[in-house]
Structure 1
Amino acid sequence: MFFQPAILALLLASGLGLAALLVASPWVLQLVRHWDLRSGSRLQLVLERRTYLLSTLVGFVLVVQMASLLLFVFNADRMAVQFVGAMCAVGTLQANSYGFPALYAQLAVFFLASGWLVLHAADARAPDYPLTRLKFVLMVAVLLPAVALSFGLQWLYFGNLSADVITSCCGSLFSVEATDLGGDLAGLPPGPTLWVYALTLLLAMAAAAWQIWRGRAAGLLGVLSAAAFVVAITGIISFLSLYIYEHPHHHCPFCILKPEYGYRGYLIYIPLFAATAAGIGVGILGRVKHLPSLQGVAPVLARRLAWVALLGFGFYLLLSLGMVWQSGLILLEAA
């Protein structure tokens, strides 16, 4: 399985990214230990020049890691035809015990990377780089272990794949008869779930609009964005997937990525992830906006990210409700 192009691309992206972070770590530790912008020493001048290189390197690695999430899911879906019993990415991910942990690690890296990039963007715009030490501490203490874990799980997952394995389809995981979390989400009543779904997304949009208008909802937007993401995924499993498939028992959140359903999964997941990352980014900026040199920088950046959150959640909500409206399935009346 290792020699498939998509798998090689994923492992190379993750492995080279991890190697780059490891190589940069000694310099990062030196920078964290000795950084002092008030000093005019030769070491400080060297560190200031080096921080541009390190920031560019880390930023590039993280952008690649974020993009790898999309390739990972796309590859899992395309590989389903190679496993007996698999109908979509779920069957591929269940081919061994490392599939879903690898996906969860990729998700964690995506949001951690987006948060770091927001900090870096704010730091680069401030005249005294007040977040330099913080962002590089986070790189070593949080991002490096997360990328290492993601790479390790991907290596174990792809290395232990075998075409001889008989796996299970998404119907066994996302069904009302299942006893795990997937079954619990699939068994939620569609009507109340739809109302909570729409209300949570509207609240997140309202917080984004308030942040744009008044600049006083950073923390609230961060919390509501995270909540909206969880509720949105729950809604996709509970009722939205049923309307897309026009089938009252098909709850899979992965089959909507397939061509027979018009790749509609990508249309809803991409704005959802972008809006969530932007909203959480606004919340992060709200925690550092009190720093003197960021008081003019953070509000401008937060406003831009709030626009991304507002438009992303709005597009996602309108698109998902449009899919419900246009579907031939009459679920709520039957309920």
Structure 2
Amino acid sequence: MILTPEVLAIFILNALFAFFGIIAFILSVKIYFGWDLNSVSKKQYKLEKLSYLGATIIKYIFIIKVPLFLFFVFTLDKISNVLTGAMCGAGVVDATDTGTALFVLKIINLYIFAYWIVLHNEDMKHENQPFVKQKFGIFILAFFLFMAELIIEGIMFGSIEIDKMVSCCGTLYSSSSTSAISSIFALDTTFLLSLFYGIFLLIIFFYFIKNRYLFAISNAFFTIISLVTLIVFFGTYIYELPSHHCPFCYLQSDYYFVGYLIYTLLFLGTFYGLVVGFIESSKEDRDKSYKKSVIFNTLYVILLSSFVMIYFIKNGVWL
């Protein structure tokens, strides 16, 4: 068990999240199974008022959840200093059996909650609120993932043993590692980069022909290939070290916290790309999502490519 001030703050906030999340879940169940916009009964009037309360709770959970995710990453880096062998958050994630699953679940929940917010905003633009049942139905499913995240997070921090030796990121993110992620280093770098830039060009192409479904699918694949190429190739140019592949270290001050910018651009670009395909919005709003996706994805590609070009200009060789 590790209980630093940062971890204690996370536990307190998680307890508040759980309390308000349960309230929102109860309201969502009532609204989902009782909503009838054509009804003029007292029950429907009460549900309409409850829908505003439930939506407000869910919205503010997400507003707090975004900076809390960044605080979670910061906490992993902070407590890595007290774990033998850990150099960054990667060692903390690998210190328990639930660390990797928790990190993946947190990212999935970020996308789900962000999708809920966009759907809610779209719903509020219409007088008849056509997405009420859909958005509260989504939250009913999201609630279980959300609670699973809180429980697994408690288990992870509770099972960390300070006196236990853990692996450093150099061991975890290498071709000699026995972890599942080590298999990506067997992939050909030229092939991965071709996929990376090729899928990005497809996103641009589908933007111009306005094929919303192919645009969304391309963004989904771009998320995966971006993370793989970031670890295998682009990260080494950020570190200027061919053997360093850790996706956590450039979140540290030594690299000017550039990792936060990298992941933010990738999240925003791919999220707005997925929104285009999954939300039935007006043409004006859809065009805005198209443009936001292209802008953030383009900035992401330019930022990562610039590290490679700057290194080559400075040193005259590739890594």
What does the per-residue CA deviation read over 1:136-178, in whole Å, with 9 as the maximum and x for residues that have no partner? 11111x2110111100110001112221111001122211122
> Counterparts of 1:269 and 1:227 in 2: how far apart (Å)?
16
Contact 2:234 2:304 in 1 (8 A): yes
| Equivalent in the alignment of 2:287 | 303
| Equivalent in the alignment of 2:213 | 219
| Equivalent in the alignment of 1:84 | 84
Contact 1:197 1:231 in 2 (8 A): yes
| 1:91 partner letter | G
Task: Report whether the alignment pairs 1:229 with 2:228.
Answer: no
| 1:85 partner letter | G
What does the per-residue CA deviation read over 1:116-148, in whole Å, with 9 as the maximum and x for residues that have no partner? 1121111111221111011111111x2110111
Task: Trace 1:121-270 onto structure 2 (pairs within 5 A).
Answer: 121-140=121-140, 142-207=141-206, 209-210=207-208, 216-270=210-264
| 2:151 partner letter | G
Task: Report whether the alignment pairs 1:319 with 2:269.
Answer: no
Shift of 1:11: 2.5
> Counterparts of 1:321 and 1:151 in 2: how far apart (Å)?
36
> Counterparts of 1:332 and 1:186 in 2: how far apart (Å)?
21
Over the aligned positions, Cα root-mean-square deviation in angstroms equals 2.0
Contact 1:243 1:323 in 2 (8 A): yes
Q: Which runs of 5+ in 2 are unaligned?
A: none
Q: 1:129 to 1:165 in 2, by over 3 A?
A: same
Residue 271 (structure 1) aligned to one of 261, 265, 272: 265
> Counterparts of 2:242 and 2:233 in 1: how far apart (Å)?
9
| 2:229 partner letter | G
Contact 2:94 2:166 in 1 (8 A): yes
TM-score, scaled relative to structure 2: 0.93
What does the per-residue CA deviation read over 1:36-92, in whole Å, with 9 as the maximum and x for residues that have no partner? 111111211121122111111111112322332222112112221111100111111
> Counterparts of 2:102 and 2:295 in 1: how far apart (Å)?
30
| 1:310 partner letter | V
Identical-residue share of aligned pairs (%): 26
What does the per-residue CA deviation read over 1:93-126, in whole Å, with 9 as the maximum and x for residues that have no partner? 1122121121111111111111111211111112
4+ aligned runs moved over 3 Å, structure 1:
328-334
Shift of 1:330: 7.2
Q: Which runs of 5+ in 1 are unaligned?
A: 290-296
TM-score, scaled relative to structure 1: 0.88
Shift of 1:2: 5.4
> Counterparts of 1:324 and 1:144 in 2: how far apart (Å)?
41
Aligned length: 318
> Counterparts of 2:111 and 2:253 in 1: how far apart (Å)?
27
| 2:138 partner letter | L
> Counterparts of 2:316 and 2:212 in 1: how far apart (Å)?
37
> Counterparts of 1:2 and 1:123 in 2: how far apart (Å)?
43
